[in-house]
Amino acid sequence: VSLDPISKWSSEGLQIYESAVPIGATPEYLAGHYMIQSASSFLPVLALDPQPGQRVLDMASAPGGKTSHIAARMGNSGTLVANDFNKQRLPSLASNLARQGVRCAILLHADGREFPRLMGGFDRVLLDAPCTGLGVISKDPAVKAEKGFTDVQRCQQLQKELLLAAIDSCTANSAGGGIVVYSTCSIAVEENEAVVDYALASRNVKLVDTGLPFGVEGLTRYRSKRFHASLKHARRFYPHTHNMDGFFVAKLRKFSNDLPPGA
């Protein structure tokens, strides 16, 4: 196997150039020593920075790459709720977590939008939101033909609802305030800055630095649109600049469990 450390920003990831055997069929893979995922998938978990003993929710977790990364960062302790709305994806999620020996996770099949009614009080929440996938065109050109602006609008509405639910599932009483990380594999402003801007106006949250040492600042203006100035703390990643899938990461801190006036 020919490989290198993925980059200086990750002490955990490896980049594989070539392998004499399928990398998903080695004894080490079957023994749960590693997970195969894109470089960009490391970013949301690094921004979330989960700690041992915390109560963490991964709202859209299948197939489990980010979930297992969260569990590793938690030292396999605390409580990790791994939820996914798509029932057909749960077997792969359960298989990957079992293969890697994750013991702190509880698997759940629920609509993320209903989560605040099911349970709450999480210290940290990751929402890697369903999106159009416009950031992965470099490896899946079919996205260009299959996705249109109607798809962007449909995803945006779902993303807004999910992000508010993620915030409502988080508690501001956690040490340092509750943390919510919102990410997509899309580069569309409508699915990223517009969604976070909506959340800033609808809940008592503020954007904080992601802690990621690279990436392009989030947009505070785009054509005729104007967004909250703090969106500069979000990070955008581009295939032609950062040699990974197009990606967006924003980190929010919840400072009050009350709803703002008019919300």
Active site residues: 185
Residues 11 and 34: beta-carbon distance below 8 Å:
no
Sign of CA dihedral 41, 66, 161, 151: positive
Bridge-based pairing of strands 79-83 and 221-222 is unpaired
Closest CA to 48 of 141, 122, 150: 122
Say which residue the tokens 């785009």 belong to.
222
Say which residue the tokens 């569990």 belong to.
71
Interatomic CA distance for residues 41 and 53, integer angstroms: 23
Q: At what angle do helices 65-73 and 90-99 cross, to 10 degrees?
A: 40
Q: Which residues of 149-172 are buried (b: 16+ CB within 10 A; e: fewer)?
A: eebbeebbebbbebbbbbbbbbbb
Whether cis (ω within 30° of 0) applies to the bond prior to 63 is: yes
Q: Distance of CA 123 to CAs 49, 162, 173, 189, 244, Å?
A: 11, 17, 8, 28, 29
